[in-house]
Structure 1
Amino acid sequence: MRVSIASAAFAASLICANSLAATYIQAGKLIPANSNDVLSKVTVVIDDNKISQIKQGFVSGSEQDKVINLQEYTLMPGLMDMHTHVTSQINGPASYMERFTLNEADFAIKGVQYANRTLMAGFTTIRNLGDGYNESVALRNAINKGVIDGPRIFTAAKSIATTGGHADPTNGQASRIQGDLGPKEGVINGVAEARKAVRQRYKDGADLIKITATGGVLSVAKSGQNPQFMDDELKAIVDTAKDYGMTVAVHAHGKEGMERAIKAGVTSIEHGTYMDEQTFKLMKKHNTYYVPTVMAGNWVAEKAKIEGFFPELVRPKAATIGPLILQTLSNAHEAGVKIAFGTDSGVSAHGDNGLEFVLMVEAGMKPIEAIRAATYHGAILIEQLDTLGTIETGKLADLVAVKGNPLDDIKRMQHVSFVMKNGQIYKTPEA
């Protein structure tokens, strides 16, 4: 019995010792992202899932601690993509048939694959702005439980639209199978239904609300710009969302629809193609974020050149709207609008998210501004700055690294070599 007790005590001491082991990440450069500062030769110490210390120089701990040599790399906070559709991906004309040929489980399984690609690209946190069957809620929960690997997901579940609006899933269907969708399916008309749709999203487990305030590019509907909510409907959505502690993200291309939404108090405008100086002033007045998604604009414009890739009703919208978003971002940045990083991945391929950095710099943003848009500003947008978005002691250990200095060559952001999320390493330079 005495031997057994001693053995148990010895085993317990080993477990205790292992639990005290820390990870020391030696970074050649460090972008903390809480400012434009860049530090050199820094060691970040991780205890459990949090950043416990930031030390000058390359420091090692005790023998039981783990040391990760990133002395030729730049370490940054985990990247954040504020506009994705992680359970789907456009793959040509067949994608328009998937709503008839695939079940909820099929989209959920797709999401497992796409979530992993997103994480491996260095994006440890994403907003998912619309799915078909609330499958992104199940995906989020599975990731949070450690069942599968993927980014931390803040999901809007099913987007809210008006009848015939951009997120009405029956657009383009024969009238005999359209039915008459309502708030449960994310289709509303009037104030009462607007409130009910928000409350349904809360009931479904969504983290935030996504609405389609104007027409869109890829929906099988004529206009990509027209306003699609009335002022009282927008106010009902925003007020109800606030009651439930939810922010509101707004798909918008046309000026009138987005300005109605801004005045109603929404949190962010996505795409924002036809913004102008008046819109910028409104956004600054109402503290509204802009999420550009330049990648999506470029992608749809290129695919519009291919005959048969999009339905004929979609093709002219893609050709017209797509190329304009880069200039819109340039104008918004120059006007001083707050910008958060977003790609609309699911339109373009998941895992290619890093290309957005290149396009943001092409639009006139400095590399450090683009990186802060995908870290610090993303954390503000999802109201998580107390735990995420910067490298500071006490915050969750979400960290990524690229070889060399991305401030000298922003294309390096397309090749993330090291990924840590919540203190767990998912990717190393050797992998």
Structure 2
Amino acid sequence: MFDSVSGRLIDNAQVLVVGNKIARVGANLSAPAGAETIDLGDATLLPGFIDAHVHLSGQSSDNWYGDFFDNMMRFPAEQALYGAYNARITLEAGFTSVRDVGSTDWIALGLRNAIDAGKIPGPRMLVSNYAVGSTGGHADQDPVPPQKIAVAGPIQGVCNGPDECRAAVRYQIKYGANVIKFMPSGGVLSLSDPVDAPELTQDEMNAIIGEAHAWGRKVAAHAHGDKAAKMAVQAGVDSIEHGSFLEDDTLRLMKQKGVFLVPTISAVAHVEEKIATFPPVIADKGRAAANHLRTTFRHAAQIGVPIALGTDAAVGPHGANAREFNFMVQNGLTPAQALMAGTCNGARLLGTIDKVGTLQEGKLADIVAVPGNPLTDIQATERPLFVMKDGVVVKRAR
């Protein structure tokens, strides 16, 4: 069993589950009379994996132009069915908790509620609803002529000035957001904004983060650019997503303030693999981000910035989330550190460490088993033998 508190393995481990919670954990426990016993053989038990950056309601393909058309043409009800499929395969991949940081038409909210009600299988979800950002920024729509599409406003997360930014946060919370996602810098997969330019003023960032914290919500900042990330950190943000161009002084400030980095190396890896399929302006931004992100990540690991696993699944394929463990190891983390990034660190960032993230008595029974020893073969995380969420077996290899 992997102990995600110490980063060590416990041999001959057993976990006793009663109802939906872990009742006992230890080596060579005796099973109570009448208990069902599941012997997984040569396997390692881990806490359910946590992906702190997904978009379950979407999925890119090899055709950016086709994706753009599909997103324009699909009704929200149809897109929600795709989201339900993505939720199921994410859970079967061992990810029992996710943070969905941006969707449209309240689809992620609907997925979360249906999963919580037990109507569809999927991971435990924290959702942000619409991401918050400026007109023309990464949270806004691509530049479709305004005569053909409604101009977005604060209810869809698009805001200008501190007052509108506060309203945008309040709308997301009104409709059930557990977390607020905002866009202080440009994005890769959008047409109209440079990837590293700040898109909000300091006053706007202060308003977004201050309002969210006043309502008891954590805040995630999509920030490739260093200047925008530093402004967000100074405003009190809880995590920086991507962080492609972060400088060491910003990383040191993040460590000092306890701000998490959610690096999403999987996303840039996918963009690199499919770079020829994107419009030229997006391909150029993708190359620049990919060239810098791995260096930034290595520096963050060396400096000691807290890191939580996130994949940006939807850019890359859902269900392949565990590839991020290997990418993190390739770029400076030990296997134990990578596993902690995808378990206890993720739970700390999400604010759910009292319920999940470790295999300890009283925690929810979110358990994954992988073949062999993931400390010597981190890619074993990509081949789960067994998945349990909330005490219910979701996947069990023959």
Q: 1:5 maps to which residue?
A: none
Q: What is the distance in 2 between the residues matched to 1:288 and 1:303?
A: 31
SS at match of 1:347: coil
SS at match of 1:69: coil
After superposition, the Cα gap between the structure-2 partners of 1:48 and 1:165, relative to the gap in structure 1 and judged at 3 Å, is same
Q: 2:174 maps to which residue?
A: 203
Matched, 1:386 2:358: no
Structure 2 matches for 1:118-129, cutoff 5 A?
Answer: 118-129=90-101
Q: 2:40 maps to which residue?
A: 70
* Larger Cα-atom Rg: 1
1:140 paired residue among 104, 109, 112: 112
Q: What is the distance in 2 between the residues matched to 1:179 and 1:134?
A: 17
Q: What is the distance in 1 between the residues matched to 2:291 and 2:373?
A: 30
1:221 paired residue among 182, 192, 212: 192
Deviation at 1:222, TM superposition (A): 4.1
Using structure 1 for the length normalisation, give the TM-score: 0.90
Q: 1:158 maps to which residue?
A: 130
Matched, 1:371 2:342: no
Q: What is the distance in 1 between the residues matched to 2:217 and 2:31?
A: 43
Q: 1:7 maps to which residue?
A: none
Structure 2 matches for 1:241-390, cutoff 5 A?
Answer: 241-304=212-275, 306=276, 309-390=277-358
**Do the aligned partners of 1:222 and 1:313 also contact (CA within 8 Å) in 2?**
no
Q: What is the distance in 1 between the residues matched to 2:345 and 2:99?
A: 13
Q: Which has the higher contact order (CA 8 A, sep 6+)?
A: 2
Aligned letter for 1:256? K
Q: Per-residue CA shift, 1:87-125, capped at 9, x if unaligned?
A: 101012211122321111122111100000100100000
Q: 1:404 maps to which residue?
A: 372
How well do the aligned residues superpose, as a CA RMSD in angstroms?
1.1
Q: 1:85 maps to which residue?
A: 55
Q: What is the distance in 2 between the residues matched to 1:167 and 1:284?
A: 27
Q: What is the distance in 2 between the residues matched to 1:178 and 1:195?
A: 24
Aligned letter for 2:72? F
Deviation at 1:65, TM superposition (A): 1.2
Deviation at 1:178, TM superposition (A): 4.6
**Do the aligned partners of 1:161 and 1:188 also contact (CA within 8 Å) in 2?**
yes
Q: Per-residue CA shift, 1:266-318, capped at 9, x if unaligned?
A: 100000001111111210222100000001011112211x2xx2223212111
Q: Which moved more, 1:52-61 or 1:309-318?
A: 52-61
Q: 1:111 maps to which residue?
A: 83
**Structure 2 unaligned regions, length at least 5:** none
Aligned letter for 1:243? A
Deviation at 1:166, TM superposition (A): 0.5
Q: Per-residue CA shift, 1:315-373, capped at 9, x if unaligned?
A: 21112212322221111000110000000000000001111111100001000100000
Using structure 2 for the length normalisation, give the TM-score: 0.97
Q: What is the distance in 1 between the residues matched to 2:182 and 2:214?
A: 17
Runs (4+) off by over 4 Å: none
Deviation at 1:214, TM superposition (A): 0.4
**Do the aligned partners of 1:301 and 1:323 also contact (CA within 8 Å) in 2?**
no
Q: What is the distance in 1 between the residues matched to 2:325 and 2:178?
A: 26
Deviation at 1:55, TM superposition (A): 3.2
1:168 paired residue among 140, 148, 152: 140
**Do the aligned partners of 1:86 and 1:136 also contact (CA within 8 Å) in 2?**
yes
**Do the aligned partners of 1:299 and 1:322 also contact (CA within 8 Å) in 2?**
no
